[in-house]
Amino acid sequence: MAASSVCRAGCAAGRTLLRGPRSSPALMSLGRNRGAATYAQALHNIPETQVTSLDNGLRVASEESGQPTCTVGVWIGVGSRYESEKNNGAGYFVEHLAFKGTKKRPCATFEKELESMGAHLNCYTSREQTAYFMKALSKDLPRAVEILADIVQNCSLEDSEIEKERSTILQELQEIDSNLTDVVFDYLHATAFQGTALSRTVEGTTENIKRLTRADLAAYIDTHYKAPRMVLAAAGGVSHTELVDLARQHLSGVPFEYKEDAVPIPPPCRFTGSEIRVRDDALPLAHVAIAVEGPGWSNPDNIPLLVANLIIGRYDRTFGGGKNQSSRLATIAVENKLCQSFQTFNTCYSDTGLFGLHFVSDALNIEDTLHFAQGEWMRLCTSATDGEVKRAKNILRNALVAQLDGTTPLCENIGSHLLNYGRRISLAEWDARIAAVDARMVQEVCSKYIYDKCPAVAAVGPIEQLPDYNRIRSAMYWLRF
């Protein structure tokens, strides 16, 4: 507020200087039209994503932009969903060992080589994907691909390094337990997909991490690190022809045969409306997540649901704007001093998903926050307006265009798209899908997934005020006459 007061105080004295010459309406209109044309041209002038398949089934995809740097990585269609109760956490363990060298490169040599390149190596594991990617200078693309191929095919798995990483992962599990946002989302998966592979965490259990052996990790790699499930993706200053040649040189030896002679399909996962409550009155704030079953990656209903989520928006007490925010739920939260924060989410998997809302509240405002949140869901099902849909569509467009900022998000976008959709979906196509959404479509799609559906609920902290599940379920519809 102090900064805005200073701005207003100085504005009166220098208003004429700040305003400058008044532009005519015609010139202002011309500027707006030029801006709209630039946006449309930007969508269609994005370099084409080129895709080539090797003989072993590995796909090579790239987008060339002529930048001095590039990001290249290997995306693998495997994660904790492909694990069992006994080896849950094996994928996360293997990912950690990527930084510990290979059979060709001991740990010290591996680290020195990365430092001499000035490159950044990163990796992650999710429930359905594993990725190893590197950002480097464009001239170092051959070395980067060779190193990534070495990591994927020749992971060291030395007993000494395994024991070091075992201690590191056990410490990470303790840190994760202190992050209540991560904890409540793990609980949400555990109850929503109970009895299925998606209920398990990516990191695995403490018991499994203590028990996993070198043979278990080697068996995991041999089973899942196959060429048909891999994508070599690159973005930035890369030549697709060169990338394909490098892939043939370093990755043509990745095995492609399976015991069953077919790429394993992830086990089906059913959604169950249910709840998990972990009451701990010693905690200062409660974390609550509520979700219904959402669509899989390739389902066209995802776009209207993303628009619906952006209508609800997100809120944190540290945000400016107060009760003048565009989000109706955020305005209610400010006026009634409800939650500390809330955020919507639409988590997708190959054949299912979670569409919901997570909020953080003190012990005395849980019921009211949940009441207004479910009320917003019902309003989207029955009376979403054209104005708020238009605003949400513009926010979604902005988020999509932001993917153009940097080679790393572009590379990740390419790799994940080929695994999730089988192709790279262009921004022009996304924009066309967004443009087709209107208020009626939002109402119909929200009614399909939200209205009168059994939700999954997870809550941690001082949650005595959280309503009974039957009351939460009864708020998933309105009695209308």
Residue appearing with tokens 């697709």:
240
Rounded Cα distance, 456 and 465, in Å? 17
Q: Please, are residues 172 and 203 in contact by the beta-carbon 8 Å criterion?
A: yes
Q: What is the pLDDT of residue 365?
A: 96
Q: What is the pLDDT of residue 107?
A: 87
Tell me which residue of 160, 178, 173, 155 sits closest to 209, measured CA to CA.
Answer: 173
Which of the residue ranges 154-163, 183-192, 196-205, 428-437 would you say has the lowest mean pLDDT?
Answer: 154-163
For the stretch 97-131, pLDDT in tens is: 988 888 888 888 999 999 999 999 999 999 999 99
For the stretch 243-263, pLDDT in tens is: 999 999 999 999 888 776 666
Choice between 186 and 267, residue whose per-residue pLDDT is larger: 186
One-letter identity of residue 149:
A
Region 369-391: what's the mean pLDDT? 96
Report DSSP state, residue 336: T
Q: What is the pLDDT of residue 10?
A: 40
Buried b (16+ CB within 10 A) or exposed e, 382-397: eebeeebbebbbebbb
| DSSP per-residue letters across 373-420 | HHHHHHHHHHH--HHHHHHHHHHHHHHHHGGGSSHHHHHHHHHHHHHH
Q: What is the CA radius of gyration of the chain?
A: 25
Give the count of alpha carbons within 13 A of 141, CB side only: 26
For the stretch 25-83, pLDDT in tens is: 443 444 444 444 477 777 777 888 999 999 999 999 999 988 899 999 999 999 999 99
pLDDT higher than threshold 90 for residue 479 = no
Q: Please, are residues 262 and 442 in contact by the beta-carbon 8 Å criterion?
A: no
Residue appearing with tokens 């513009």:
394
Rounded Cα distance, 203 and 181, in Å? 15
Region 280-294: what's the mean pLDDT? 97
Q: What is the pLDDT of residue 480?
A: 67
Q: What is the pLDDT of residue 78?
A: 94
Return the bridge partners of 343, or none: 358
Tell me which residue of 132, 181, 99, 162 sits closest to 458, measured CA to CA.
Answer: 181
Q: Which of 95, 275, 376, 388 is labelled catalytic? A: 95
Q: Please, are residues 215 and 31 in contact by the beta-carbon 8 Å criterion?
A: no
Tell me which residue of 96, 276, 287 sits closest to 203, measured CA to CA.
Answer: 96
Which of the residue ranges 260-269, 285-294, 301-310 would you say has the lowest mean pLDDT?
Answer: 260-269
Choice between 269 and 24, residue whose per-residue pLDDT is larger: 269
- Annotated catalytic, 95? yes
